[in-house]
């Protein structure tokens, strides 16, 4: 199926790209999706409000990406894979903005707008706070920028992600049909964008080949940081919306969409350890991968997206295991144990991963955060499906493990840091912000 972008579409996209994105916090996403205290599922009305928010917010975020891909410097914007990705974003923009709005009677429209019941005004969500992992000015959407000097959001300056309560009204079938149609459109969009990371990586390779470059410059590096961060945000909002719409998946009361309000750190860490060891055995042909010791309070849980935490732990653990095996030799009987220590603070949950894999020379530390930096000799082929399922992920070789994991950490106000002792080993600190109020860092 070939899709063509029209002049007019590109004009509309340009128009949308002038609006700032509205950052949402983890806590707001949870408050929004929570079922009403009456015990019923959240109402069509809540879903409708969510659809409304997303039908404005997603086109803005997509439009920023289309503009930025088109404006990339030095001919990078002309690379075939970059153009392909730009068209995906433009097409998704078109699909959302062209979706027909439901024809609703005035009564229904009024009921949707007015607070559910007298004495029970629609809850306005807790304000977002500045994301502590982001420098002021780094991302335009940060609420700090819209502030009046004392960190307070200008009221009404940005659209809000509203919470409403179920009021027992029977909503017309048109509303239900619209919610369904909207969720299906999002589903198709999410699938279209599955291969974005690898296709952009392909585009960078095309560029490096054409320009005979070894490294990418800091402009491209910060473009990729913004681009992939934005992708995390878009996929978070879409994934959350799809999960809320599909209520059959909402059996577990600790889940609100894809957010788990009681993410158990120890269980997730143990699972990531098992997966990383399995991939390591497979890759190096080992009978028994280097051991990993986990020190974590068993009952420690917090509000997070389990998928994000698994991703970060899996990537950092694979790095440690690879370093340990390569430093000590795959034919060793016993390897030094990698330690995973989890600490619980008021602000942060911090996970330290300490290995004796020989460390990293100090001069290479800045490089480990750049995309496509790897010390693997032959990069595995860029399979566009590779990021669809984590367990098929390769041991190493794309150079995307650390930079993308750091974006995931920063997305919810955490961070990822690395300290190495060359000749001995590496400590990776994964800080997870448990206040859950920081705004998504977006541009």
Please list the active-site residues. 311, 315, 318-319
* Tokens 């653990």, located at residue: 317
Least distance from Mg ion to the Cβ atom of residue 399, Å: 8
Q: Given the complex with ligand ADP, which of 32 and 400 has the nearer CB atom?
A: 400
Instruction: State which of residues 30, 108, 163, 323 lies at the interface with ligand ADP (CB under 6 A).
Output: 323
**Phi, psi angle pair for 262, to nearest 5°:** -130, 60
Q: Which residues pair with 432 in a beta bridge?
A: 349
Q: With CB under 6 A, what is the number of residues at the site for ligand ADP? A: 20
Q: Kindly report the CA angle at 157 between 152 and 161, in degrees rounded to 5? A: 90
Least distance from ligand ADP to the Cβ atom of residue 138, Å: 21
Instruction: State which of residues 396, 407, 416, 432 lies at the interface with ligand ADP (CB under 6 A).
Output: 396
Least distance from ligand ADP to the Cβ atom of residue 315, Å: 6
Cα 392 from Cα 275, distance rounded (Å): 10
Q: Given the complex with ligand ADP, which of 258 and 292 has the nearer CB atom?
A: 292
Alpha carbon dihedral 216, 219, 225, 230, in 10-degree steps, equals: -130
The one segment of 67-75, 101-109, 156-164, 319-327 that binds ligand ADP by CB under 6 A? 319-327
Q: Does 290 sit near ligand ADP (CB under 6 A)?
A: no
Cα 107 from Cα 113, distance rounded (Å): 10
Q: Supply the DSSP symbol for 137.
A: T
Scanning residues 287 to 326, which ones bind Mg ion (CB under 5 A)? 319
**In 351-426, where does DSSP find H-type helix?**
365-368, 401-411
Scanning residues 365 to 404, which ones bind Mg ion (CB under 5 A)? 396, 401
Q: Does 275 sit near ligand ADP (CB under 6 A)?
A: no
Evaluate whether 271 touches 310 at the Cβ level (below 8 Å). yes
Q: Does 360 sit near Mg ion (CB under 5 A)?
A: no
Least distance from ligand ADP to the Cβ atom of residue 332, Å: 16
Q: Could you tell me what percentage of the chain is helix, strand and coil, using 3-state DSSP and rounding each to the nearest 5?
A: 50, 10, 40
* Tokens 């940081």, located at residue: 225
* Tokens 């993410």, located at residue: 263
Q: Does 224 sit near ligand ADP (CB under 6 A)?
A: no
| Site mask for ligand ADP (CB under 6 A), range 362-381, x = bound | ------x----xxxx-----
Binding stretches for ligand ADP (CB under 6 A):
315, 319-320, 323, 355, 357, 360, 368, 373-376, 396-402, 426
């Amino acid at each position: 199926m070939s899709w063509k972008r029209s002049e007019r579409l590109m004009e509309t996209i340009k128009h949308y790209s002038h609006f700032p994105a509205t950052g949402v916090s983890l806590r707001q996403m949870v408050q929004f999706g929570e079922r009403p205290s009456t015990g019923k599922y959240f109402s069509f009305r809540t879903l409708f409000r969510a659809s409304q928010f997303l039908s404005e917010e997603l086109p803005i975020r997509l439009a920023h990406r289309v503009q930025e891909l088109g404006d990339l410097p030095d001919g990078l914007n002309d690379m075939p894979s970059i153009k392909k990705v730009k068209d995906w974003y433009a097409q998704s923009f078109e699909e959302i903005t062209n979706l027909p709005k439901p024809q609703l009677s005035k009564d229904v429209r009024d009921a949707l707008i007015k607070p559910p019941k007298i004495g029970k005004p629609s809850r306005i969500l807790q304000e977002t706070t500045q994301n502590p992992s982001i420098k002021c000015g780094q991302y335009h959407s940060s609420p700090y920028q819209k502030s009046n000097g004392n960190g307070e959001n200008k009221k009404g300056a940005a659209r809000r992600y509203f919470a409403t309560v179920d009021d027992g009204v029977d909503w017309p079938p048109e509303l239900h049909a619209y919610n369904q149609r909207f969720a299906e459109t999002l589903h198709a969009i999410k699938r279209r964008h599955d291969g974005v990371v690898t296709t952009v990586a392909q585009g960078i390779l095309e560029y490096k080949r054409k320009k005979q470059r070894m490294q990418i410059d800091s402009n491209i590096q910060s473009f990729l940081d913004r681009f992939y961060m934005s992708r995390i945000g878009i996929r978070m909002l879409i994934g959350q919306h799809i999960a809320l719409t599909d209520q059959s998946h909402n059996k577990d009361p600790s889940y609100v969409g894809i957010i788990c309000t009681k993410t158990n750190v120890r269980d997730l860490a143990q699972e990531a350890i098992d997966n990383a060891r399995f991939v390591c055995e497979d890759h190096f042909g080992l009978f028994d991968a280097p051991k990993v010791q986990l020190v974590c309070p068993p009952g420690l849980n917090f509000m997070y997206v389990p998928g994000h935490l698994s991703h970060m732990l899996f990537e950092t653990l694979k790095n440690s295991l690879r370093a340990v095996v390569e430093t000590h030799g795959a034919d060793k009987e016993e390897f030094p144990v990698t330690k995973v220590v989890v600490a619980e603070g008021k602000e942060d949950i911090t996970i330290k991963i300490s290995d004796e894999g020989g460390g990293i020379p100090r001069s290479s530390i800045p490089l480990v955060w750049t995309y496509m930096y790897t010390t693997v000799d032959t990069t595995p082929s860029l399979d566009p499906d590779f990021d669809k399922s984590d367990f098929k992920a390769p041991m190493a070789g794309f150079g995307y493990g650390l930079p993308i994991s750091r974006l995931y950490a920063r997305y919810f106000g955490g961070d990822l840091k690395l300290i190495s002792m060359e000749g001995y080993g590496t400590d990776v600190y994964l800080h997870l912000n448990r206040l859950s109020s920081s705004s998504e860092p977006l541009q």
